[in-house]
Structure 1
Amino acid sequence: MQSHPSYPILSGYLKKYPSAASSLFQTYNDITYAQQWLDVSVVDLGDEFKRAAIRGRRKMGAEDGGGVSEDFSYVFPCSLAEAFPYERLQKVFSSLGIEKMFMAVTSEDASIVYYKISAGIVKPPV
């Protein structure tokens, strides 16, 4: 892991939050290298959450006109074995000052599932 190009960027967070290190490392590398987001950075959520989130600008698909999103998106990495009650997720939204984010659920086999979640109840588009 120490020889990976992303290690110098993540090492402080991996050491500070060892229980969330695997999810952060896996998600950061997927967002940066596979999804090719731009302006990617790590946001320390502090001791209350004992983890960091990822912030960046998403590449848009052809159906969205291509290019790069002007707005920043946030990703909250966690493992499949963790549980996050609704109240705790609401605190994450509040802490980041956002209304929506992606939750990256990682597993031991290196797969990641992204869920787009919103603060509160949001009416789906018609």
Structure 2
Amino acid sequence: MTTKYTKDHEWIRVEGEVGTVGITPHAAEQLGDVVFVELPDVGASLKKGDEAAVVESVKAASEVYAPVSGEVVEVNSAIADNPGTVNEAADGAGWFIKLKLSDAGELDGLMDDGAYKEFAANEG
């Protein structure tokens, strides 16, 4: 299982040809208390960089972008009912969508854990 990261603070954890997508704890901390999550429909086709979901917190609204291209095969309806899960477990139970990858090669352009930690530490 591989986890990769984007410069927009999304993560994707890939098992086989399906990637689970969420936002990093760093992003959740920056947002503050998440109060609303809007998820795409299962079956939606996303291109890398497309808006995949919307997160609203007490501070701001923010988009969650697709780190790779693929088809939405599952959404985490639990976070729609309990958005605080995004803050409590951003890199676990607070995941947003599962994507069936259409081009696994796109993962090569993303950061590994070490590169992401360095990126997040140096940002702002």
- TM above 0.5, yes or no, is no
Question: Could you tell me the TM-score, scaled by structure 2's length?
Answer: 0.31
Larger Cα-atom Rg: 1
Structure number with higher relative contact order (C-alpha < 8 Å, ≥ 6 residues apart): 2
